[in-house]
Amino acid sequence: MSSEPLWSENLRKVYSSKGAPPVDALAGVSMSVHPGERVALLGRNGAGKTTFLRIASTLLRPTSGSIRVFGYDVAEHPERARPYIAVVPQEGKPFFHLAPREMIYTYLRARGLSRETSKTRTEEAIERMGLTEFANRLCITLSGGQRQRTMVATVIATEAPLLFLDEPTIGMDPFARREVWASLRALTAKGSTILLTTHYLDEAEALSHRLYIVERGRVIVSGTSDDLKRSVGGTLKVSLPEGARHVDSFQSFGSTVTDGSSLTIIVAPERLGELMDLTIRRQLTATVGPVTLEEAFLRVVGRKIDED
Ligand SMILES: Nc1ncnc2c1ncn2[C@@H]1O[C@H](COP(=O)(O)OP(=O)(O)O)[C@@H](O)[C@H]1O
Ligand SMILES: [Mg+2]
């Protein structure tokens, strides 16, 4: 209910600027995040994910609707909500004239943590997020991925009850991403709650208990990634690299998508034999694999997550 870590109902945001048509960035978003959950907001560019996170983290006022953090109305009482939250904003940068070690420590002190706790947490974060070798170098000298790791490490070190992370692993190498995942899992094990946005479907799948797919300012699907896969009607994906021109013959097996000359079909396991017979009769080659979250996303949204 409304004392959940995060709860919103029919949240809307219209951006209006002079001389430009208004933008309906959020067209009524209702959602909730339960204690200790890691929830992912998934969606293509411009879907409204950052707008939602900025409103939830008190940086932007909604046009209408309700949103509460631990029961506090974010728009009415931002000062009450703020102590509970910590945010990695999209494209946020650490202070360039501080080194990661100073950045993390200063941030924790500014949030009111004691010298001792701040020092311990800073060293833990440096160690855990692999920042040791550049912890004393000014952030301005760091690579994009190193800066991003510093931002995420800083926010994770707060151990705030509710964390918002907007595309936290963008620009990171696969090892750093996995360190972030491990740190976020450790944090929820200690009792924090996490809402993140991501463009990476493998990240959403690996990390989130539940996900919300947002498209044009609306939640179009919510549930676990398994729920989502089941909702597209089959658990197997058959790819026919030269199948596009035969699409009509395969439509009765399940949902189909063509891409250039290739065709993919989502099919229930019990119809696979019949589908393979047809493939052979048409002298096509096929590969069969499990439906991925990426496939499910494509079916539900109608386009790939990274397609403009
Ligand atoms: N300050 C702004 N003024 C006008 N339109 C904006 C502003 N910020 C975002 N938008 C628009 O709102 C929509 C949602 O943007 P955003 O929340 O950043 O999406 P996402 O994070 O999912 O990529 C987009 O159409 C974007 O162009
Ligand atoms: Mg965004």
Asked whether residue 41 falls in the same domain as residue 184, the answer is yes
Give the pLDDT band (50/70/90) at residue 2.
low
Tell me which residue has its CA closest to atom 24 in ligand 1.
Answer: 46
Please choose from 17, 50, 196 the residue to mutate so as to test ligand 1's pocket, defined by most ligand atoms within 8 A of CB: 50
Please report whether residue 296 resides in a domain: no
Please classify residue 93 by burial: count the beta carbons closer than 10 Å to its beta carbon, then call 0-12 exposed, 13-18 middle and 19+ buried. middle
How many angstroms is it from 177 CA to the middle of ligand 1? Answer: 26
Query: Residue 60: CB within 6 Å of ligand 1?
Result: no
| pTM, to two decimals | 0.87
Sheet holding 6-15, edge to edge: 23-33, 6-15, 64-69, 72-73
Asked whether residue 31 falls in the same domain as residue 103, the answer is yes
**Sequence-separated contacts (24+) of 298-305 with Cβ below 8 Å:** 298/257, 299/232, 299/255, 299/257, 299/266, 300/213, 300/220, 300/221, 300/228, 300/231, 300/232, 301/43, 301/44, 301/213, 301/215, 301/220, 303/44, 305/42, 305/43, 305/44, 305/199, 305/201
CATH number at residue 96: 3.40.50.300
- Pick from 224, 247, 264: which residue ends a domain? 224
* Distance from the Cα of residue 214 to its chain's centroid: 10
- The predicted-structure confidence for 88-138, as pLDDT tens digits, reads as follows 999 888 988 999 999 999 999 999 999 999 999 999 999 999 999 999 999
Cα–Cα distance for residue pair 236/229, rounded to 1 Å: 10
How many angstroms is it from 36 CA to the middle of ligand 2? Answer: 24
Instruction: Reply yes or no on whether the pLDDT at 223 is more than 80.
Output: yes
Please choose from 16, 51, 60 the residue to mutate so as to test ligand 1's pocket, defined by most ligand atoms within 8 A of CB: 51
Query: Residue 198: CB within 6 Å of ligand 1?
Result: no
The number of distinct structural domains making up the chain is 2
Please tell me the predicted confidence (pLDDT) of residue 230.
Answer: 79
Please report whether residue 37 resides in a domain: yes
Asked whether residue 189 falls in the same domain as residue 249, the answer is no
Cβ–Cβ under 8 Å, residues 273 and 238: no
- The predicted-structure confidence for 234-285, as pLDDT tens digits, reads as follows 788 999 999 999 999 999 998 888 989 999 998 888 999 999 999 999 999 9
Query: Residue 23: CB within 6 Å of ligand 1?
Result: yes
CATH number at residue 261: 3.30.70
Please choose from 15, 214, 218 the residue to mutate so as to test ligand 1's pocket, defined by most ligand atoms within 8 A of CB: 15
Neighbouring C-beta atoms of residue 16, cutoff 10 Å:
9
The 3-class secondary structure across 93-104, one letter per residue, is: CCCCCCCHHHHH
Tell me which residue has its CA closest to atom 3 in ligand 1.
Answer: 15
Please tell me the predicted confidence (pLDDT) of residue 182.
Answer: 94
Instruction: Reply yes or no on whether the pLDDT at 56 is more than 90.
Output: yes
What's the mean pLDDT in 173-177? 91
Asked whether residue 170 falls in the same domain as residue 247, the answer is no
Asked whether residue 98 falls in the same domain as residue 216, the answer is yes
Q: Residues of 169-186 as b/e, b for ≥16 C-beta within 10 angstroms?
A: bbebeeebbebbbebbee
Cβ–Cβ under 8 Å, residues 51 and 63: no
Please tell me the predicted confidence (pLDDT) of residue 38.
Answer: 98
Tell me which residue has its CA closest to atom 4 in ligand 1.
Answer: 15
Instruction: Reply yes or no on whether the pLDDT at 1 is more than 70.
Output: no
Asked whether residue 22 falls in the same domain as residue 131, the answer is yes
Beta-sheet pairing, 210-215 with 38-42: parallel
Cα–Cα distance for residue pair 186/273, rounded to 1 Å: 44
Instruction: Reply yes or no on whether the pLDDT at 5 is more than 60.
Output: yes
Asked whether residue 246 falls in the same domain as residue 180, the answer is no
Instruction: Reply yes or no on whether the pLDDT at 78 is more than 90.
Output: yes
Please report whether residue 302 resides in a domain: no
Residue type for 19, please?
Answer: G
Cβ–Cβ under 8 Å, residues 68 and 87: no
Asked whether residue 48 falls in the same domain as residue 165, the answer is yes
Instruction: Give the residue numbers spanning the domain of 253.
Output: 233-290
